[in-house]
Amino acid sequence: MRAVRLLIPTLVLLAACSDPASRSEAQPALAQPTRSPPETAADMKTSFAPVVKKAAPAVVNISSRRVVRQQVDPFWEMFGLGAPRDRVEGSLGSGVIVRSDGVIVTNNHVVAGGQEIIVALADRREFPAKLLLSDERTDLAVLQIDTGEERLPVLAIDDTSDAEVGDLVLAIGNPFGVGQTVTNGIISALNRTADPSGDAASSYIQTDAAINPGNSGGALVDMDGDLIGINSFIVSRSGTSSGVGFAMPAAMVRRVVETAVGGGQRVVRPWLGARTQAVTADIARSIGMSAPRGVLVADVWPNGPAARAGLRQGDVILTVDGQAITDVGGLNFAVGARRPGESLRLGVRRESGGEATLTLRAEPPPATPARDERTITGRNPFSGATVVNLSPAVADELGVDPFQGPGVMVVRVGRGFAMNAGLRPGDMVRSVNGRQIDSVRDLAAVLDAGAGAWQVTIQRNGQQITANFRL
């Protein structure tokens, strides 16, 4: 951090010139701060150029193209006029080289559906790229280009989690396709949750460094020139930067890259094995806490990681490896960003009011019961729907609450009576004609028996809905 190094001589000079008599010997010595704000006009003029020179060569431009079939107006099509035409759609974004053999990380939405992906290096050379892995939940994708024996400049992934609100950061990318651009700002907030459901992928670094269309997939770097996040999206009423940008933290970036390089097709996220909720002011008062902190354990999955770690219903999880937990998304991210097999230390407030430290082993969610995915056919209310047995693994894949199960979930609705009946992806099938449905096999059996009238009960958004059909 160049600004900090330049500041040290000034602090030493001020200390040497101060009056020793003005300091109270009774007052204990204070620990030296690890971060110092600029104090003089000279400090404010300190350049970011050394950081940019280190980081910028590893930031690339990415263009993606796909051909889509454009349909004609159905009115003219009835008269045999016009024909479908092919139209080329493109997107521009940024990316970061994270391995010298050409492995690049970017946002998934930059390359999603791309039939041709081109990567332009900082020296303006262009290479076709191969998609190794796309992960919609984190909006991250991993590409690779072939430069032969040439070793490319890389950005080191800093996932040590020592970033603090107020730290200086740089955003490097290709806004509006104008070319590589550097903007500066600070970390405005940490552990921002974009999904109120507490998705394990939704804990972001917020920054006021200007991020605009085209910056997606670019680098958020600290003053050591290391990658601390991938710029993902902004919140803005105008569509341009309003100083509220979000980056996926480096810990999850590393997990996605490791999965892709290892040949994996899907990121396996460890799960907690417990259902939790944020501690509100009302909840804090009801359980005797002086202020709202952490997340409350509402339910524990039998024999899951949380149960084996000793978590119990009514516990409040306060920290993970010493980092404060403020919401469900932050907790799930802290667990989900770990590699399976790693251990985490949970700081817990017991229901009795005491505190304890528990050790949780990060494990992938179990795929029990077996998925048994089927598309329903025949003359019944589910014709055209695709259903699966809901297990923790399937719930993680779909981003839904595993505690809805066990049971049968609708995952897709195609052409057929299911669409006309109003079934939706995410519906849980609870009973058909009075018979409880616990598995896809149960559903298939009752449908195969046939009937002229059907009574179907589903669960949607926590509410049970019963409808009657005649076919």
User: Looking at the annotation, which residues are catalytic?
Assistant: 109, 139, 216
Q: Token digits for 18?
A: 């101060």
- The dihedral through the CA atoms of 447, 372, 398, 297 has a sign that is positive
Distance, in Å, from the CA atom of 139 to the CA atom of 229, rounded to the nearest integer, reads: 12
Distance, in Å, from the CA atom of 158 to the CA atom of 155, rounded to the nearest integer, reads: 9
DSSP 27-76: SPPPPPPS-----SHHHHT--SHHHHHHHGGGEEEEEEEEEEEEPPPHHH
The residues, ordered by sequence, that sit 6+ positions from 145 with a Cβ below 8 Å of its Cβ are: 102, 104, 119, 127, 128, 129, 130
Which segments of 122-276 does DSSP mark as H helices, in order? Answer: 250-261
Task: Identify the CA nearest to 358 among candidates 313, 314, 319, 303.
Answer: 319
Phi and psi angles of residue 155, each rounded to the nearest 5 degrees, phi first: -105, 125
Distance, in Å, from the CA atom of 196 to the CA atom of 297, rounded to the nearest integer, reads: 17
The residues, ordered by sequence, that sit 6+ positions from 158 with a Cβ below 8 Å of its Cβ are: 222, 224, 226, 227, 228, 250
SS (HEC) of 188-210? EEEEECCCCCCCCCCCEEEECCC
DSSP 15-28: HHHS-GGGS-TTSP
Distance, in Å, from the CA atom of 335 to the CA atom of 339, rounded to the nearest integer, reads: 9
Buried-state track 22-32, b at ≥16 Cβ within 10 A, e below 16: eeeeeeeeeee
